[in-house]
């Protein structure tokens, strides 16, 4: 048996809280504005084509969005040509204000204080916050409900996921358009060569996963004769626990029981899952110091050959395989091949769904103060979901940034940052509804990427959604302190797994959260849920 040497993480684990979603990195100082008046054309003009007609018939749409490129979004020699292609295709004089991520909240809050000069379309990062709900209730944003069902005017936006759209609604009124993310993105992956060396098949059940974790820890999967592997990758980011809980029958944050929505920590299955997490922790099947490992080291364990199981977004596992290939990390069973992360997705047919979005757009009720202005803004967002615009904003101009080869996009600007800057950041203008990537003109996919696409597609049919998301916005108590109470629950879970508190301590922490307001949150959520389901 493996000798377990444990560094106690309990005293530090209490304060470790993990975020469920990671935002991209932004940098830079102030904001930059781009968007000059260009020639008018019909909305059927193809990307890259221009016209010299007057701009008089084009509506102007002002748009503030996130600059993730430290001031280099839509810059360089071909920047104007790229933006003109968007204007021509959408028949819109779009004027973009770029805002660095680290100042986005501040800039948006300032804009809300001057509603008469707010951009018509504003971008918000992450999930809905309490302030947004308050502003929505005060009528700061256009009620999009009567518009988005029009499939003739908005053939893309009208195909939004109804459940995800509810997450951007208050009192039955939709105040935002989400930026879509694939629902079936979460799952389990593992070193295929390690499993083959140890005679393990693809795990299907929780017991299979436990045996794989044990074998990857104790049976020398890399064949180096050293006691230097630990089954599961884990850092202070506790998203893997949220995913694994669903294997045991837990909901995604919340679930329905006897016609009532409850947080998962009121389910018996939640405690069963936590006992299993503690069991594999105590056995040494995850790093002993996981609770104090920095989140930015996430995936390093698998890349360095220290861990063999990775539970998170499946595209993260694909990036690990990419790392193996770029660094020529050999398979332990076949030195002529590189290592490979096999993607499983579900265990027992269960996995957790994403929220279905990351970030969203709102339309200002003050600057979109006529139906014509609302429709101009929605028309622009809808056209940006067309394949031509998704290709343009993701890969740039054909003949400059990429060329087509055997029906696939081949990027020509990968080694030229200045060249790719012309389209950098413009994908922040795209809602990605109904598709999150182009369906016809795509990059040539590796075998790993093909597998990822297949598994995500299968996951999306069974992934468990958070049933309370549409109703949390209606809870004033959740808006004021629900986020902190969720963090308190997460901290108690970490303490229990690491052994700092026992079952009584866990129950006491849960009761404390209930007393501090979660009992009222549950009542408010169910009041909104009942009102919605009784319609």
Q: For residue range 146-166, what is the model confidence (pLDDT) as tens digits?
A: 999 999 999 999 999 998 999
Q: How many domains does the chain have?
A: 2
- In this structure, the answer to whether residues 421 and 364 fall within a common structural domain is yes
Position 13 scores a pLDDT of 34
- In this structure, the answer to whether residues 411 and 516 fall within a common structural domain is no
- In this structure, the answer to whether residues 370 and 415 fall within a common structural domain is yes
What global pTM score does this model have? 0.79
Angstrom distances, CA of residue 142 to CA of 12, 145, 276, 405, 472: 46, 9, 47, 44, 20
- In this structure, the answer to whether residues 494 and 424 fall within a common structural domain is no
Non-local CB neighbours of 124 within 8 Å, separated by 6+ positions = 104, 108, 132, 176, 359, 360, 361, 362
- Pick the last residue of a domain from 384, 412, 435: 435
Instruction: Spell out, as residue ranges, where the chain has pLDDT lower than 70.
Output: 1-56
- In this structure, the answer to whether residues 494 and 416 fall within a common structural domain is no
- In this structure, the answer to whether residues 395 and 526 fall within a common structural domain is no
Position 42 scores a pLDDT of 34
CATH code at position 120: 3.40.190.10
Give the range of the structural domain holding residue 474, as residue numbers without chain letter.
469-533
In a domain, 245, yes or no: no
- In this structure, the answer to whether residues 41 and 177 fall within a common structural domain is yes
- In this structure, the answer to whether residues 523 and 413 fall within a common structural domain is no
**Could you tell me if 16 and 496 are in contact, meaning their C-beta atoms sit under 8 angstroms apart?**
no
- In this structure, the answer to whether residues 385 and 527 fall within a common structural domain is no
In a domain, 145, yes or no: yes
In a domain, 14, yes or no: no
Rounded to whole angstroms, how far apart are CA atoms 394 and 420? 10
Paired tokens of 468: 């309370």
In a domain, 233, yes or no: no
- Pick the last residue of a domain from 435, 457, 488: 435
In a domain, 74, yes or no: yes
Position 18 scores a pLDDT of 32
In a domain, 7, yes or no: no
Rounded to whole angstroms, how far apart are CA atoms 458 and 440? 20
- In this structure, the answer to whether residues 510 and 383 fall within a common structural domain is no
In a domain, 464, yes or no: no
Rounded to whole angstroms, how far apart are CA atoms 259 and 389? 43
Strand partners, 62: 95
- In this structure, the answer to whether residues 395 and 501 fall within a common structural domain is no
Q: Which of 303, 351, 379 is nearest to 60 (CA)?
A: 379
Q: How far apart are the first and last CA of the chain?
A: 60
Position 168 scores a pLDDT of 93
Position 176 scores a pLDDT of 97
- Pick the last residue of a domain from 380, 415, 435: 435
Position 20 scores a pLDDT of 31
- In this structure, the answer to whether residues 43 and 178 fall within a common structural domain is yes
In a domain, 95, yes or no: yes
Position 479 scores a pLDDT of 85
């Amino acid at each position: 048996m493996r000798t377990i040497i444990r560094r106690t993480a309990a005293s530090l684990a209490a304060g470790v809280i993990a975020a469920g979603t990671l935002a991209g990195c932004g940098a830079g100082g102030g904001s930059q504005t781009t968007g000059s008046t260009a020639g008018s054309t019909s909305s059927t003009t193809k990307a890259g084509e221009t016209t010299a007609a007057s701009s008089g018939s084009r509506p102007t749409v002002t748009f503030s969005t996130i600059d993730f490129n430290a001031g280099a979004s839509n810059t360089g020699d071909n920047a104007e040509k790229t933006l003109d292609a968007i204007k021509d295709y959408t028949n819109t004089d779009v004027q973009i204000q770029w805002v660095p991520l680290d100042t986005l909240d501040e800039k948006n809050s300032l804009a809300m204080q001057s509603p008469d000069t707010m951009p018509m379309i504003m971008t918000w990062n992450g999930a809905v916050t309490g302030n947004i709900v308050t502003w929505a209730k005060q009528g700061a944003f256009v009620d999009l409900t009567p518009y988005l069902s029009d499939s003739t005017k908005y053939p893309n936006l009208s195909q939004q996921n109804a459940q995800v759209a509810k997450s951007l609604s208050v009192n039955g009124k939709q105040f935002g358009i989400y930026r879509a993310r694939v629902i079936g993105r979460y799952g389990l992956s593992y070193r295929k060569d390690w499993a083959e060396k140890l005679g393990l098949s693809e795990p299907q059940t929780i017991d299979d996963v436990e045996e794989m974790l044990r074998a990857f820890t104790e049976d020398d999967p890399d064949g180096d004769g050293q006691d230097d592997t630990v089954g599961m990758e884990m850092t202070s980011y506790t998203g893997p626990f949220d995913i694994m809980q669903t294997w045991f029958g837990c909901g995604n944050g919340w679930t329905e029981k006897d016609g009532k929505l409850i947080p998962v920590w009121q389910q018996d299955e939640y405690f069963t899952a936590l006992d299993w997490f503690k069991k594999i922790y105590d056995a040494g099947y995850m790093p002993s110091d996981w609770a104090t490992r920095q989140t930015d080291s996430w995936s390093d364990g698998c890349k360095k050959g220290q861990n063999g199981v990775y539970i998170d977004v499946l595209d993260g596992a694909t990036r690990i395989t990419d790392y193996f290939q770029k660094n020529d990390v050999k398979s332990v069973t076949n030195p002529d091949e590189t290592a490979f992360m096999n993607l499983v997705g579900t265990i027992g047919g269960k996995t957790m769904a994403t929220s279905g979005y990351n970030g969203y757009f709102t339309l200002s009720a003050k600057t979109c103060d006529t139906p014509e202005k609302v429709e101009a803004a929605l028309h622009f967002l809808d056209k940006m979901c067309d394949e031509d615009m998704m290709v343009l904003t993701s890969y740039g101009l054909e003949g400059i940034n990429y060329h087509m080869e055997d029906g696939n996009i081949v990027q020509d600007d990968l080694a030229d940052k200045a060249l790719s800057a012309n389209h950098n950041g413009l994908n922040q203008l795209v809602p990605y509804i109904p598709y999150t990537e182009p369906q016809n003109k795509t990059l040539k996919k590796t075998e790993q990427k093909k597998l990822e696409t297949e598994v995500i597609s299968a996951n999306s049919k069974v992934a468990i959604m958070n049933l309370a998301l549409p109703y949390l916005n209606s809870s004033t108590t959740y808006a004021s302190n629900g986020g902190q109470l969720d963090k308190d629950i997460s901290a108690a879970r970490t303490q229990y797994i690491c052994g700092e508190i026992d079952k009584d301590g866990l129950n006491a922490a849960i009761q404390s959260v209930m007393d501090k307001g979660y009992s009222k949150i549950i009542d408010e959520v169910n009041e909104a849920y009942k009102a919605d389901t009784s319609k």
